[in-house]
Amino acid sequence: MGYVTDTHMSQFIAPNLFHTAGATWTNVAGQVTSTIVRHVGAADQTVIVNVPVVIPSNSVALKGSKLVSIEVDYEILVAACDAFTAVLNKVTRGADTAVAVVTAPAFTQAPTAANSKTVDQHKLVVTLTTPAYIDNDEYYLLELTVDQALTTQVDFLGAVVNYELRI
């Protein structure tokens, strides 16, 4: 019995699944008609957004989902951010009562961190340097740190996870 491999799988992650920390966040209608967004209002503050990578995992090596890239759609409104950075965290669950272990796989991003903070609509693409199959004892979170200027507002429209599925 052989495997079926699809190299072009994608999964949309709605903005209401994002974990947001710092400041006051709201779910509101987006600037683009017929969209919803996770919105943070203007303030000189640093906020964190965690995007959960919600795709199937598998306990068998080289089966299940092979994570390739994550795309995040967002808008920066009124004023540019002071900084906008991304970190990809791989969390390996501990056995029994052991604490989880977090590592940061290497990735490239487009646009660059400098171009990610400008006033505009953006699609941030984080691509793993070495795509990886997700074991059933691990998960990935894309962490975005947004250092807002005094009048900066940010809307997150959602994310798309691109992966290869092998079953």
Q: At residue 3, does pLDDT exceed 90?
A: no
Question: Quick one: what percent of the chain has pLDDT higher than 90?
Answer: 86
Residue-level pLDDT at 7: 95
Residue 97 scores a pLDDT above 90: no
138-144 mean pLDDT: 96
- Residues 14-61: pLDDT tens digits? 999 999 998 999 999 998 899 999 999 999 999 999 999 999 999 998
Map out the domains of the chain with their CATH numbers.
12-166 (2.60.120.260)
> For a pLDDT cut of 70, what percent of the chain falls above it?
98
pLDDT at 95: 74
Confidence (pTM): 0.93
Write out the DSSP string of the chain: ----EEEEEEEEE-GGGSEEESS-EEEEE-SSTT-EEEEE-S-S-EEEEEEE-----BSSTT-EEEEEEEEEEEEEESS--SEEEEEEEEEEPPSTTPPPEEE---EEEES-TTGGGSSEEEEEEEEEEEEEEPBTTEEEEEEEEEE--TT-EEEEEEEEEEEEEE-
Q: Is pLDDT at 157 greater than 80 in this prediction?
A: yes
Confidence label for 6 from pLDDT (cuts 50, 70 and 90):
very high
- What confidence category does residue 94 fall into, taking pLDDT thresholds of 50, 70 and 90? confident
